[in-house]
Amino acid sequence: MDIERIVAEPAKLGESPVWSVAEQKLYWVDIDGRALHRFDPSSGRDENWPMPEEIGCIATRRDHRMLLALRNGFANFDPRTGDLVRLLDPEADKPDNRFNDGTTDSKGRFWAGTMRMGPPGERPEGAFYRLDADLGCHRMIDGFWTTNGLAFSPDGRTLYMSDSNAKVRTVWAFDYDPDAGVPSNRRVFVDTRGMAGRPDGGACDADGCYWMAGIGGGELVRFTPAGAIDRTIRVPCRTPTKIAFGGRGLDVIYMTSLQKAGEEPDPLAGCLFAITGTGVTGVEVPPFAG
């Protein structure tokens, strides 16, 4: 196994890596740096586009545009022209909230969660939303401090999500109806309070195992569908945020990370990494269907 730093310029808050099968490139974001990035592994070039506000998560589209979940709602962005077209803002009444983590289900619906910026309030103010192909937006589940961990099993019938808040540190699993887009039977998948890191971004591999970026613990953790720890990979920084499977064989693990100030030196924090030789492959994350 090899872990390589592939983008040395640290992001303030690297997140939401998404592999474009059509382009064979990796899209990712710098939330606090307000930028969309695209890394080309064939050239080693990383390009970026500034955003007008924090950009939490993204999804590819079939027409080479990107679907963005920004601080102020959803938007389409065309990297070829730089045009950004706003769509809708489901939390226009909550100016202190922004979108955080997101992914698509097997039908191409976009799931994305919100969170309060800055210090937590007196109660959890985040929620998970589902954006359909016709741009119908549905508030699905409330009561989260820091929405994270969204991922779907390879058959599309299990939905995972988490709350990274230090008081919660929990990953949940749901039964999921891919046709209706509705989760049910919520249960605790993993309680991470005995682990080194809190649950940040999630992803599922081709074996149906769930991968958690253990932020603060410097590790990626693979869980079986039953919630048992199957494998732990120590990474070169304490703050991994999310992974995506990429490469032609979907056998490269790309990992984003957070640059934190005011703590012990962590010189590689915020960089983008590629992990090869794990013997694990991923599944394609569908483009947004809209």
- Please write the tens of the pLDDT for every residue from 190-238: 999 999 999 999 999 999 999 999 999 999 999 999 999 999 999 999 9
Q: What pLDDT is recorded for position 262?
A: 64
Report the C-alpha gap between 124 and 107 in whole angstroms: 29
**DSSP conformation letters of 50-102:** E-SS-EEEEEEBTTS-EEEEETTEEEEEETTTTEEEEEE-TTTT-TTEEEEEE
Residue 261 predicted with pLDDT over 70: no
Check: CB of residue 144 under 8 Å from CB of residue 124: yes
Among candidate residues 105, 163, 200, 205, the one labeled active-site is 200
Q: Which of residues 99 and 264 earns the better pLDDT score?
A: 99
User: What domains are defined for the chain?
Assistant: 2-276 (2.120.10.30)
> Amino acid identity, residue 55?
I
- Please write the tens of the pLDDT for every residue from 34-55: 999 999 999 999 999 999 999 9
Report the C-alpha gap between 212 and 178 in whole angstroms: 23
The answer to whether the predicted template modeling score (pTM) of the entire model surpasses 0.75 is yes
> Amino acid identity, residue 116?
R
Strands ordered across the beta sheet of 14-20? 14-20, 25-30, 35-40, 45-50
Phi, psi torsion values for 181, nearest 5 degrees = 70, 30
Is residue 179 part of the annotated active site? The answer reads: no
Report the C-alpha gap between 210 and 229 in whole angstroms: 10
